[in-house]
Chain A
């Protein structure tokens, strides 16, 4: 099992460009999440999904959109990138909700917006 994978690993964008980050999991998990990690801060939830075809806003959703067309994939889109979106992005998945369910993380995508 590959676990949680993220594509790409690194990306540099210019302000105003768009891009999509792809997250894939092969553990048949229902729940998927996108977080961002900034220096000096812990991870913050951007959007999440509780199942195929569903999405919901997290703590810092502005400037991002997501889609979960297939259970195993969760896409994060930036329509018009801004320098404030320079960050490391982590995708995670879990079998279900609740405090007793570990979230498995992908390796991260380092995004720089110039």
Chain B
């Protein structure tokens, strides 16, 4: 079974500062993917970034980067130079590569950017 743990229910960050959202995972699969989604107050789920378990380099997408530490089973999302529009819920999710179709989600972190 897969499990995602997000231990920060809410975070407040000053605009333009960097923020790290924590995510730890548990799986017995060797091949898997880790995803981060953003859910603004409008409700849609927006894909941000992906990291494969065999990727040696940390994934980056613009201001988003994923700090992947496989031995610690952590996949933290780093947002650089935060903006007011970054205020949202953020979900970490994982998916096994074989025989498991679903995304397993964490409970999310609500990020609020303070001007």
Residue positions of A touching B, CB distance < 8 A: 31, 33, 35, 40-45, 48, 50, 56, 58-59, 88, 90, 92, 97-100, 102-108, 110
Contacts and interface: CB of A to CB of B under 8 A. Distances in A.
Contacts of A97: 101
A48 B97 contact: no
Contacts of B95: 98-99
Given A100-B97, A105-B45, A42 B106 contact: yes
Contacts, number: 69
Interface string B71-95: 0000000000000000000010111
A105 B102 contact: no
B47 A102 contact: yes
B101 A41 contact: no
Contacts of A40: 107
Given A90-B45, A99-B33, 20 more contacts: A33-B102, A33-B103, A41-B107, A42-B4, A42-B107, A43-B91, A44-B105, A45-B102, A45-B103, A88-B43, A92-B45, A97-B101, A98-B33, A98-B97, A98-B98, A99-B94, A100-B33, A103-B103, A106-B44, A108-B45
Interface string B26-54: 00000111010100000111010010110
Contacts of A42: 4, 91, 93, 104-108
A56 B101 CA distance: 10
Interface of B: 4, 31-33, 35, 37, 43-45, 47, 50, 52-53, 91, 93-98, 101-108
Contacts of B108: 42
A100 B98 contact: no
